[in-house]
Chain A
Amino acid sequence: MVPANMSEAVVQIEHLRKEFNGTVAVADVSFSVRRGEIVGVLGPNGAGKTTTIQVLLGLTTPTSGTVRLFGMDLERHRCEILQRCNFCSAYTALPANLKVRENLRVAGGLYGVTHWNDKMDRLLALFEIAHLKNQITGRLSSGESTRVNLCKSLLNDPELLLLDEPTASLDPNIADKVRKLLRRIQREQGITMIYTSHNMRDVEEVCDRVLFLHKGRLIAEGTPQEVIARFNQKSLEEVFITVARSGDLLEAPSP
């Protein structure tokens, strides 16, 4: 039996459609994410993952459909919602010529974090980069930058964390540590996470549930094992390849 608050939908997307100058990026996507879940959004390039994440972050407005986070309409309550979320992407950076602690101090201020100094120290220690606190961010390796970015994304104790390929630039050892840390943080703090990655091992290990997008539509949904079984494959990677190569022909097979 799932506790009442765990069954609460943190994210509710209904019939999301997004067009850019007549090009359909997301055709019709509906899904919800319950509190405390880690949900992987998967799909080949052009599937609509990034657009869906951008809509959830309020960076892009939907052409049609409704997007509700924490029960609130995203368009009407954008700032209140963003206060309870955070984001980490391998494709964004923190200003390179600021020191790590300066970047985290600014991020703390943007989210109204009190005692940011203590939180920063705790997070830097958690990601094993406490020694980098006074380093210039631009001089860090990509793996170190990613971990600083993850610290930034946890500074405000987010209820919803959007992770866009968070382990993309990490070596296998650090990637493994980060995956385990994310799971631990999720368990301890009950953070809801939406996770995109092209690394299917990441997804199998971290995600409770996956959403498979193809050409702007949701074609499969379930636990990683359910999705693997539904496509009669041995791993998510094989599912991914099957969808990428013959997704047009696929209707998600019935369970």
Chain B
Amino acid sequence: MSWQRIQALVLRYTYLYARSVPRVTEIFFWPLMDLLVWGYVTLYLQRVGNVSAPANAFMFLLGAMIFWDILYRAQQGVTLSFLEDIWSRNLLNVFVAPVRVGEFVLATYLVGLVRIGVTIGVLAGLAYALYSFNIFSLGISLVPFFANLLLMGWALGMVTTALIMRWGQAAEALAWGVPFLIQPVAAVFYPLDVLPRWIQPIALAIPATHVFEGMRQVLRGGGVSAGSLTTAFVLNAIYLVAAAFFFRYMFDVARRKGLLAKLGTQ
């Protein structure tokens, strides 16, 4: 691993974002829209007197929305960095340089981390200003929650990027679609027991489910379940390793089929 090469890749994405208003806007636009829509929908539901809704339903939804964004942005950080190189016909310049696959992936992780930091900072500030919701009220448990969502986002990002590498720009929509495939099963906006019984074991195999369940537990005033967090970390470790192998496998397939060169010049 060469830190200098990783730094160069991160620098390249930093220049790209610093120079492009649409790209910077994109980091804030959708999270902001989500925050406004979900926030006001929840306020409305409370106002029309849905007495069966728990008082903290509002916090659950806003918290879930912000947490979902961590996962989504982590996945996007990896995938969009790769797509940026395709769109700018720069992919060949990266892969004819002595860049190792691990260095490339690590650089995209770091870019994702920066994107998340910025987005979450803005969302947390706005949620507090508009709805008096303080995500930091989750306290120290925020750290393992955040870490788990980040790890899962990175694993998803690697899988998505590997699929785009294999099937080219035709598979580009996956960059935005893949996270939403797991959203209904991961108990993001509702508790696990709402899901049909037969889906629940599948949901429990998704690290994010443990995070969203844990978040609701903490917001209800309960403690963090160490067992649940450990399960999430173990699952994430397994998925990250599997995703890394899958990425490496698809990279080799892409080289065997000449797809890297095709992606880099199309």
Contact = CB atoms under 8 A, between A and B. Distances in A.
Are chains A and B native binding partners rather than an unrelated pairing? yes
B90 A97 contact: no
Given A97-B16, A102-B15, A108 B8 contact: yes
B14 to A, nearest CB: 10
A158 to B, nearest CB: 11
Interface in B70-128: 84, 88-90, 92-100
A204 B58 CA distance: 75
Interface of B: 2, 4-5, 7-9, 11-12, 15-16, 19-20, 84, 88-90, 92-100, 252, 255-258, 260-261, 264-265
A136 B16 CA distance: 11
A106 B11 CA distance: 7
Contact of B90 (A18, A82, A93, A102): A93
Interface stretch (A8-16, A34-42, A56-64, A171-179): A56-64
19 contacts: A58-B96, A59-B95, A59-B96, A59-B264, A61-B256, A87-B92, A89-B265, A93-B88, A93-B90, A95-B15, A95-B16, A95-B84, A97-B20, A102-B15, A106-B9, A109-B5, A109-B9, A110-B93, A112-B4
Contacts of A21: 257
B261 A59 contact: yes
Contacts of B93: 87, 92, 94, 107, 110, 152
Main secondary structure of the interface of B (DSSP, over half): helix
A interface bracket (residues with beta carbon within 8 Å of B): 35 or more
Given A59-B260, A60-B261, A92-B90, A110 B97 contact: yes
A89 B90 CA distance: 11
Contacts of B92: 57, 59, 87, 89, 92
Interface string A56-82: 011111000000000000000011101
